[in-house]
Amino acid sequence: MDDKELKSKLEKIKDKLTKIEQTSEKRIFLYCESENSHSVNKYLFEEVPLRFVIATGIDSTSCFEILYHYSCDEIGWIVTLKTFIREREKPTIDSIAPFLPGAEWIEREIHDELGIEFKGHPDMRRLILADDWPEGVYPLRKEVPK
Amino acid sequence: MTKKINLHKPVLAVGPFHPLQEEMEYFQLTVDGEIVTDIDVRISYNHRGMEGISETLQFDQVPYLVSRICGICSASHPLAYVQAVEEICGVKPPERALYVRTIINELERLHSHILWAGLAGHFIGYDTVFMWSWKYREPVLDLLEEITGNRNNYGNVKVGGCREDIQEELKPKILDEMDKLEKKIEMLTKAVLDDPILHMRLKGVGILSKEDGIRYAIAGPTARASGIDIDIRRDDPYAAYGELDWKVISVPEGDVFAKVVVRLLEVLESIKMIRQAVKKLPKGPITAEVKEIPPGEGCGRAEAPRGETFHYVRSDGGNRPVRHKMRAPSYVNVPSFKASCIGEHIADVTITLAAVDPCYSCTERLAVVDGHKNIIHNYEALLKMSRGKTARLKKELGLRELKMEDLRLE
């Protein structure tokens, strides 16, 4: 796969994205809303296909962001899918773990850190927080003092 | 009814502390006789909250924090981080700094892989391999100390370059040590690849297929031993890797033996790279000037000894990152045990878990809970099981233990 082929494959899901942005020579960012996250991730992992690297959960005050980082190893690009969860009270997003077991841990971790619910996750136990950590306190949320 | 059967399934608790590898992890193996039928991993007994701490530090303080993520990968993590920040601010470090980074990162790979080879030997009852490997590793640590001032936690990279340079008078010493090490590693590699018992003991054990590897998104030597030909040093060249002549080692088998082969051959490749980098080391400064970090986001990655290390940094234009995500390779490699350990013998699990070279910890306590009986084994028991299998294979092959009398000269 070369860069033209990758770009044309990414163009095919344009209607599910809100923006495609190339920030530098080998980095490309895709933006989408949380309801499209599952289908776009499935397309990136199974159809393109890209290698899943990790996901990053961010509390950006007005909303939550989950960044799914993928790597295109043939050309050394990083494709990042940026999804926005606008609902702050009960943030929910579809889990990608059913088709991508490599994402099982990171979804549990983001749930621990930010309290985002992953619908359809096979095993939503705590991963990084201690057993006696209070329920409902999410350490990476902005309201928690550092 | 099913529930009742489940209650009587023997559970083998491996962990949460490992006496050899100084971190904590807990593996719960469900076993049926000798065969492992399920595995559950529990981590984060020693969660240090580094992603949170990083947001409270200034950009130039963070490398010292991330070099403490792991004592062995203490060059790869800061490198991945500074590359992410350099991407945000568009700084390109001077040529010489890129070469110094390459040399330090390859020295790190050398000592990590050799350390692993020793531990793997120890686990299956080859203590000679353990002693030799660790002896060979020592000069590598000495070189790192001479370059950076520390055997571990080098703290040598900063945004825009390096902190310590490689002194001209040290170059012959590095080349000399590489020559010596190459001979020893070649001998070790031949001894391992020729040994019929190691073939029997490690081939076909703990197989991780390419398909499973992709689903679990594995990285590094674990991936390359399963035929997934990825290496960040070649695929997304950073530091000076693009200018060196070397090859990526990848084999298709996916078993423990394949992981041994990949790591040992990678050691030889690293020696080749260090030699070239030292000879090519360009003259000039080792730091570029960095002013302010503008708002933006960047991804940096480096090939650590265990696989791809990934750092994501976001800046809002202030002097601290607003978000810093770090991913170590073991984070994706450890869950793949679900694919590689199930169906294996308990005696093989020790080496299968160790073959991934996880930054892991376990096996000090081993408790077998079987119905009403409560049998508690300790770490020695697990080691004994693993070594017992090696001894059994030796016997089947008609080989006997080497005795001191055999070595006596006529």
What is the enclosing helix (H) or strand (E) of B104? helix B95-123
Is residue B259 situated within a structural domain? yes
> What one-character DSSP code corresponds to residue B283?
-
Number of neighbouring beta carbons within 10 Å of residue B72: 20
B349 plus B235 within the same structural domain: no
What's the pLDDT band for B141 if we cut at 50, 70, 90? very high
Ordered structural domains, chain A, with CATH: 3-90 (3.30.460.80)
Chain pair A-B, CB pairs under 8 angstroms: 81
Question: Which of B28, B81, B229, B235 to mutate to probe the A interface, most A CBs <10 Å?
Answer: B235
- Which pLDDT tens digit goes with each residue over B253-293? 999 999 999 999 999 999 999 999 999 999 999 999 998 99
Whether the predicted interface score ipTM is above 0.90: yes
Chain A CB contacts of B332 below 8 Å: 54, 102
Side-chain-side CA neighbours of residue A29 (13 Å): 17
Mean pLDDT of B348-355: 80
Is residue B336 situated within a structural domain? no
Is residue B101 situated within a structural domain? yes
What's the pLDDT band for B174 if we cut at 50, 70, 90? very high
B303 plus B398 within the same structural domain: no
Smallest Cα–Cα separation from B211: which of B349, B303, B327, B340? Answer: B340
Q: CA nearest B223 in A: which residue?
A: A51
Is residue B305 situated within a structural domain? yes
Contact A97, A51 (CB under 8 A): no
Chain B CB contacts of A78 below 8 Å: 236, 299, 301
CB contact under 8 A, A51 and B217: yes
Number of neighbouring beta carbons within 10 Å of residue B388: 12
Can you tell me the distance from the alpha carbon of B388 to that of B378, in angstroms, rounded to the nearest whole number?
15
Can you tell me the distance from the alpha carbon of A31 to that of B372, in angstroms, rounded to the nearest whole number?
56
Is pLDDT at B311 greater than 50 in this prediction?
yes
What's the pLDDT band for B363 if we cut at 50, 70, 90? very low
pLDDT at residue B381, as a whole number: 72
Contact B14, B26 (CB under 8 A): yes
Contact B230, A73 (CB under 8 A): yes
Residue B47 touches partner A, C-beta closer than 8 Å: yes
Single out the residue in B272, B304, B331 at which a domain terminates: B331
B37 plus B89 within the same structural domain: no
Would strands B365-370 and B296-304 be described as parallel, antiparallel, or unpaired?
Answer: unpaired
Is pLDDT at A75 greater than 50 in this prediction?
yes
Residue B251 touches partner A, C-beta closer than 8 Å: no
Percentage with pLDDT > 70 across chain B:
88
Please state the φ and ψ torsions of residue A60, each to the nearest 5 degrees.
-105, 45
Smallest Cα–Cα separation from A92: which of A120, A67, A55, A72? Answer: A120
Weakest mean pLDDT among A16-20, A53-57, B345-349: B345-349
What's the pLDDT band for A72 if we cut at 50, 70, 90? very high
Can you tell me the distance from the alpha carbon of B404 to that of B399, in angstroms, rounded to the nearest whole number?
15
Chain B CB contacts of A24 below 8 Å: 87
B325 plus B364 within the same structural domain: no
Single out the residue in B297, B331, B365 at which a domain terminates: B331
DSSP H helices, B203-288, are: 210-215, 220-224, 232-235, 256-280
Residue B312 touches partner A, C-beta closer than 8 Å: yes
Question: Which of A23, A47, A56, A108 to mutate to probe the B interface, most B CBs <10 Å?
Answer: A56
Whether a cis peptide bond, with omega within 30° of 0, leads into A49 is yes
Is residue B159 situated within a structural domain? yes
pLDDT at residue B11, as a whole number: 85
B21 plus B119 within the same structural domain: no
- In angstroms, the Cα distances linking B239 to B11, B59, B80, B229, B396 are 47, 20, 10, 20, 50
Burial B350-361 (b: 16+ CB within 10 A, else e): bbbbbbbbbbbb
B301 plus B354 within the same structural domain: no
Is pLDDT at B306 greater than 80 in this prediction?
yes
Can you tell me the distance from the alpha carbon of B103 to that of B283, in angstroms, rounded to the nearest whole number?
15
Tell me the whole-structure pTM to 2 decimals: 0.89
Single out the residue in B312, B331, B350 at which a domain terminates: B331
Chain B CB contacts of A52 below 8 Å: 217
Cα B37 to its chain centre, rounded Å, is: 27
B13 plus B159 within the same structural domain: no
B34 plus B55 within the same structural domain: no
pLDDT at residue B28, as a whole number: 84
Q: How buried is A4 (Cβ within 10 angstroms: 0-12 exposed, 13-18 middle, 19+ buried)?
A: exposed
Side-chain-side CA neighbours of residue B13 (13 Å): 15
Is pLDDT at B23 greater than 80 in this prediction?
no
Q: CA nearest A140 in B: which residue?
A: B52
Is residue B187 situated within a structural domain? yes
* Angle, CA of B394, B193 and B342, to the nearest 5°: 70
CB contact under 8 A, A27 and B87: yes
Is pLDDT at B336 greater than 60 in this prediction?
yes
Question: Which of A54, A78, A129 to mutate to probe the B interface, most B CBs <10 Å?
Answer: A54
> What one-character DSSP code corresponds to residue A22?
E
- Which pLDDT tens digit goes with each residue over B45-104? 877 888 889 999 999 999 999 988 888 888 999 999 999 999 999 999 999 999 999 999
At A109 the three-state DSSP class reads helix
Count of domains observed in chain B:
2
Number of neighbouring beta carbons within 10 Å of residue B372: 6
Q: Which residues pair with A31 in a beta bridge?
A: A19, A82
Is pLDDT at B360 greater than 80 in this prediction?
no
* Angle, CA of B255, B259 and B261, to the nearest 5°: 115
CB contact under 8 A, B331 and A52: no
B150 plus B250 within the same structural domain: yes
What's the pLDDT band for B404 if we cut at 50, 70, 90? low
How many angstroms separate the CA of residue A97 from the nearest CA in chain B? 10
> What one-character DSSP code corresponds to residue B334?
G
Q: CA nearest A123 in B: which residue?
A: B40
B64 plus B184 within the same structural domain: yes
Chain A CB contacts of B331 below 8 Å: 54, 105-106
CB contact under 8 A, B216 and A54: no
pLDDT at residue A85, as a whole number: 96
CB contact under 8 A, B335 and A102: yes
CB contact under 8 A, A56 and B55: no
How many angstroms separate the CA of residue B51 from the nearest CA in chain A? 9
Residues in chain B: 410
Residues 6+ positions from A13 with CB-CB distance below 8 Å = A40, A43
> What one-character DSSP code corresponds to residue A16?
G
Can you tell me the distance from the alpha carbon of B359 to that of A145, in angstroms, rounded to the nearest whole number?
30
B156 plus B278 within the same structural domain: yes
Nearest by CB to B235, from A54, A76, A127: name it: A76
B267 plus B367 within the same structural domain: no
- Give the range of the structural domain holding residue B363, as residue numbers without chain letter: 2-45+341-407
Would strands B157-158 and B35-42 be described as parallel, antiparallel, or unpaired?
Answer: unpaired
CB contact under 8 A, B52 and A56: no
The tokens for B157 are 């990279």
Smallest Cα–Cα separation from A39: which of A63, A62, A13, A21? Answer: A13
Number of neighbouring beta carbons within 10 Å of residue B330: 24
pLDDT at residue B291, as a whole number: 86
Average pLDDT, chain B: 85
Nearest by CB to A104, from B296, B323, B335: name it: B335
Please report where in the chains the tokens 């005050």 appear, as a residue.
A61
Question: Which of B48, B53, B299 to mutate to probe the A interface, most A CBs <10 Å?
Answer: B299
What's the pLDDT band for B389 if we cut at 50, 70, 90? confident
pLDDT at residue B402, as a whole number: 58
Q: What is the CATH number of the domain that holds B86?
A: 1.10.645.10
